[in-house]
Amino acid sequence: MKWRNVDEPDPIALSALEHWSYCPRQCCLIHAEQAFEENIHTLRGQAVHAHTDQPGVEAGFEGRRIARAVPLWCDRLGLVGKSDVVEFLSDGTPYPVEYKHGKKREKRHDDIQLAAQALCLEEMTGKAVPLGAIYHATSHRRRKVTITQELRQAVATCIAEVRAALVAPTLPPPVNDQRCRGCSLADLCQPAPLAEREKLHALAAHLFEPDA
């Protein structure tokens, strides 16, 4: 990894891409406001990561070398973070595996985070990373993810949007949908009251308009 010029923007955390693609307001509360609260979902996530957060290397399935808590970076894109697990195939090709609590199901924000890890590993190792996997702890099943060109472009788009949002004077508006129910930041975010306030402002703006 090269030394970063003081004039270069700060690197974006890999986790910020997942947060942004899930909920932009959540991302900015965590990464701009440094706000975070625990709930049952975050605690379950910590429990899943208890083993992968311990750095180490071991032998695994089909003779693959398995590395845990691998530091990652990509100078080209300005990313930094770590991978839960990186499996190295017999030819040295990295295969990132991201651990998530919950049952096996496709989630776009998980795939974007995994693709960003793949891009970091490509720069770090000089090898193409065409595949990775999400390990769903509740169902004990893996979901293979192909690192497509579309996913790579989604990563680049997320990075640009996160950079702009983190220096913006205001937070993105709350999504105020089913995503808010399990969010540990709901009390800080106040999605329902803010949505109601916006609704009232919109009604007030048209209150004295003449009838059509």
d(CA 72, CA 79): 8
Task: Identify the pLDDT of residue 1.
Answer: 46
Number of domains observed in the structure of the chain? 1
Confidence bin at 184 (pLDDT 50/70/90): confident
81: CB partners within 8 A, 6+ apart: 13, 14, 15, 71, 72, 73, 116, 117, 120
Residue 191 lies in a domain: no
Pick the residue with more confidence: 211 or 76?
Answer: 76
Burial class (CB in 10 A: 0-12, 13-18, 19+), 47: exposed
Query: Is residue 202 in a domain?
Result: no
- Residue 205 within any structural domain of the chain: no
User: Which of the two residues, 123 and 194, has the higher pLDDT score?
Assistant: 123
Report the pLDDT averaged over residues 60-77: 88
Spatial distance between the Cα atoms of 212 and 161, rounded to a whole number of angstroms: 40
How far is Cα 54 from Cα 130, in angstroms, rounded to an integer?
Answer: 26
Q: Is residue 192 part of a domain?
A: no
In a domain, 183, yes or no: no
What pLDDT, on a 0 to 100 scale, did the predictor assign at position 53?
61
Q: Is the pTM of this model over 0.85?
A: no
Closest by alpha carbon to 65, among 38, 33, 95, 109? Answer: 95
Q: What average pLDDT does this structure show over 180-198?
A: 73
CATH number, domain containing residue 157 = 3.90.320.10
Range of the domain at 52: 12-172
- Which run of H or E residues covers position 201? helix 191-205
Task: Tell me: pLDDT of 194 over 90.
Answer: no
Q: pLDDT, tens digit, for every residue of 38-62?
A: 554 554 555 555 556 667 777 766 6
Render pLDDT for 5-30 as a digit per residue (tens, 0 to 9).
556 778 999 999 999 999 999 999 99
Q: At what angle do helices 108-125 and 149-166 cross, to 10 degrees?
A: 100
Q: Does residue 193 contact residue 176 with C-beta atoms inside 8 Å?
A: no
Q: Please give the sequence-ordered ranges of beta strands (E in DSSP) within the chain, or none if there are none.
A: 12-13, 56-59, 65-74, 79-88, 94-100, 131-136, 141-146
Per-residue confidence band for 3, with pLDDT thresholds at 50, 70 and 90:
low
